[in-house]
Structure 1
């Protein structure tokens, strides 16, 4: 029995060793376009590009090619198997593609791999195109690669590379911070959801102290909060999407239990510093809506008016993990076989609190993409009381 198992393991290792990387492949004609009107890096984007294998005569079953993409948070394919097939016009399955690594908050690169499903040596050349949806990693935490990417992306026109052969100029919009608190969230590809909340802003002065309470599952969808993942820091150094480019430790008292996070900070924050929170929570396959309920109560000193005032408000944010446009196509051809299109389909998995509603095509039908929030109710108690707060864009 032991000898039989050794033989099986030897055959398996031999099969792995026989797989060869397809290096004689070129990628070109990259086009990156927004899936919605929201043209921020962490929102949904579509990447379309061509590939060409000039000499397919040596490609055997199991051989593969890989596209490694820095600064890409994640890709997600539509079908439940998370694979997509590239077929030839004669019905031959040429490649099966999948995301072999999602960068998310863990890795530097997202990796897309396509593996040959058959012996393709009878074909002279194979050419085609691939389209999938993605979102970029532009910060929102103290994780190594997210912090690096927070410094990488800038608003306005920017040259973005996918791999080492392709690039396109993408025009990114900055984020507006016009409420008392700023939110962002997206699914990671690892069965979890990463969220970011920024608040406790004191215009014309500095923060004296206060409390923040967050219920990460206010709708009771059983999306468990990972207390070990919670990050609570302060910063006044933000990129164009209000994600920290650097951060400072605080002496905050943090209590995490169930789906609740309670934060008490009894120290001063100067020079426009605000408190930000990042956390991970579970995202079961059957859940596509996550509701966060937030409560803030804090005190500021207005150095211009020489007054102290309290701010108290609560808000609910609804994050919806939604499907993007079915733009996926892939094709392959030889010198004597015509091109065909197969079902390579992608979905955008970024959720963002914008209050916008847009419509995109999915096959021959349309699907609403709703990224909504409940309006913030805010009260500011001071000698010069107001009910709203506007924070200018960072330069």
Structure 2
């Protein structure tokens, strides 16, 4: 019987000499010894067994690099629209209730200020004219004067900066002796359809002056559709409409009305004037109403929808963001600006950090564009790195 020898794998292993420890030699290609010092716990910290956690969210916040890499909301100067106040005088006039803001001289200050904004990366402005009292009337016809301050300001801005995106304000309150966005009847009723008729003329006059975006802030019913039709009839099909879709009857507008002297005037027994704008601006208590306004504005041809104010209405910004595919803008209004300024001046908060946080919150809520008086400062802070 033939015998067979089975060879195990170990038989193929070549015997090796015993290993000896070799002393490492200095090599310039080798990394130097670490100089990191192990961290120390504060005195009194307990010694514990690490928690058995499947997920630790703090790992994604452990360093500036990681935090920036995972940042969900990015703020840039492209997001800002800079509101500017203009007047007929030769010099800028400081606005007492808005530190750092001026009524800009149409002849001198406006172009200089816009040039500074553009240098900071802000290339969008909205113009608010301070109408001389002698030009104000009960019907506000100065709103569509082709040689009015607003129209001349728009034209000068577009002549000087052809690529500047110029937004306008469509409402009668800067031109109305009674301080309302529409004409007021003797019984105190703000007239809707008659006001819309004049708003259409105002919008067309602004488009003729060179406006890129018409912004009706009046809150009259049907004005978006009427303005769209008026613009199209005059050949301004490329002029966009940014509707103040959810403009609330807010307490935050005071400094703005101070800047334009546009607050409602006292009435009389002979001619009643509403003390506020609750009849046409939205009730701050209401949420669902903004969805109704948004549906109407979109149906009537709005290109952008706005929420005003911004900071106290972040839920409304989100509601519009979730209900439409249109771009959303939000107005960080004069009262919000002045509160931040006052708190910073008193040393209660860091102005830069608080402003950027507020603007991030507005964008995070869903705003594509933010109108803010901090546009220039915020743009510079962003460029410096935050």
TM range (shorter): under 0.3
**TM-score (norm: length of structure 2):** 0.27
Q: Is the strand fraction higher in 1 or 2? A: 1
Bigger relative contact order, structure 1 or 2 (CA pairs below 8 A, ≥6 apart) = 1
Give the TM-score normalised by structure 1: 0.26
Higher Cα Rg, which structure:
2
Structure number with higher helix proportion: 2
